[in-house]
Amino acid sequence: MGVNKSMQNIFFVLFRAFYYPSLIDYQTKENVLEIYIVFIKSNDPHSFKLNKTNKKSEEKTHIIVNNWIRSLSLCHGWINDFNKMIAKYVKNELYLSLFFFYIEYLYFRSGHSENVGSVAFSPDGSKIVSASLDNTIRIWDVESGTEIHVLKGHLHWVTDAQFSPDGKMLLRGHSDSPRKAQFSPDGCFIASGGCDNIIRLWDVKSGQEIKKMTGHSQWINEVQFSQDGEMLVSASYDRTIKIWSVKTGEIIRSLIGHTAGIECARFSPDGCNVVSCSWDDTARIWDVTSGNEIKRLQWTTKKMKDAKYSPDGQIIVFGSFDKTVQIWGVKEEQDIQQLEGHSGAVIGVDISPNGSKIVSSSVDKTIRLWG
């Protein structure tokens, strides 16, 4: 028995995804094709019994379908009624899950001998750099998972490492100062912060310090440029987040609300929001323009150590002390998926430039790739 016109219309919309091949991987295409074959070419009248749609199933379908559509960058032609149609026709979660662009565990690597404090993708997504308390930085090939380089010789713990925007240089922070450092989006400057409570701006070409930014009263755990390079955000154990003008070095706004030290603060891709993680057991989302807290996230058994927005700004990935990676939907305002596998606290996370993979690092001395 074939399906009715409504279902054919749904899959017409789904197949629009094939007009965006650069945004969809092979496996996703295969999943869409499998759904189409199962529904359109099934002659078994009992294959998909109509289930009475209830509110709970519609809500679950709404979350899953929206995440799947977002992953495929389908922005047009979808209406909320399609969610109800799918909830009506899908028999159970086995088929429903085909609509969800699941993040799955790919592999782990354990070259470090101590906690791995940070991980970051290269600008082209082909490599990962990891920094560890074993005083080394390691570079990994994403495709094969093999270790490419080991950078030794550091006298202190290496707490942070990242590629320059052109992928030709590496920047690292260590246990003294600076603890955190980041290239500007154009690669011309570096911002650093550490135990002396000062943010410093450096010229990459000359190596000279060109600006000092003071305002924090305790050490600085995070500094990050906005994508347009005009602002910096910093997080400190003084319980404040500060937004700075790169041009003037002045504080634009202080984000106040956390009741304990703040581990990280990251801009959203559009620079309109900041996500933060604190020892007060909360993660918070802030409006940069007003300085107001717009969302407070609190989990019963979780304390978040690190956070990163996806390139499209639609999800936030958290690293948690409960050994998991948490994926939170910005529009859905709730958890989408939890990734399990680490045997220790997850203290570093990053998302690949195309948004298809997640890398995490842990006190279990490993990095894990998910995709």
| pLDDT mean for each 10 residues of the chain (371 residues) | 42 42 44 45 38 49 53 45 47 35 68 92 96 90 92 81 93 67 96 93 95 96 96 98 97 97 97 97 97 93 92 95 94 91 95 94 94 86
Q: Tell whether 75 and 116 lie within a shared domain.
A: no
Q: Tell whether 176 and 290 lie within a shared domain.
A: yes
What pLDDT is recorded for position 67? 55
Q: Tell whether 168 and 109 lie within a shared domain.
A: yes
**138: closest CA among 154, 242, 327?**
154
Q: Tell whether 308 and 324 lie within a shared domain.
A: yes
Task: List the domain range (segments joined by +) for residue 252.
Answer: 105-370
Q: Tell whether 71 and 193 lie within a shared domain.
A: no
What pLDDT is recorded for position 24? 43
What pLDDT is recorded for position 59? 55
Of 52, 83, 99, which one is at a domain's C-terminal end? 99
Q: Tell whether 51 and 137 lie within a shared domain.
A: no
- In this prediction the pTM is 0.74
What pLDDT is recorded for position 312? 94
Q: Tell whether 211 and 346 lie within a shared domain.
A: yes
In degrees, rounded to 5, the angle at the alpha carbon of residue 364 between the alpha carbons of residues 359 and 369 is 20
Of 77, 99, 121, which one is at a domain's C-terminal end? 99
In the chain, the number of structural domains is 2
C-alpha 172/C-alpha 88 separation (Å) is: 53
Q: Which residues pair with 316 in a beta bridge?
A: 309, 328
Q: Tell whether 205 and 352 lie within a shared domain.
A: yes
Q: Tell whether 170 and 284 lie within a shared domain.
A: yes
C-alpha 193/C-alpha 214 separation (Å) is: 10
Q: Tell whether 92 and 124 lie within a shared domain.
A: no
CATH of residue 340: 2.130.10.10
| Phi and psi torsions of 5, nearest 5° | -60, -35
Of 75, 99, 123, which one is at a domain's C-terminal end? 99
Query: Do residues 233 and 241 touch, judged by C-beta distance below 8 A?
Result: yes
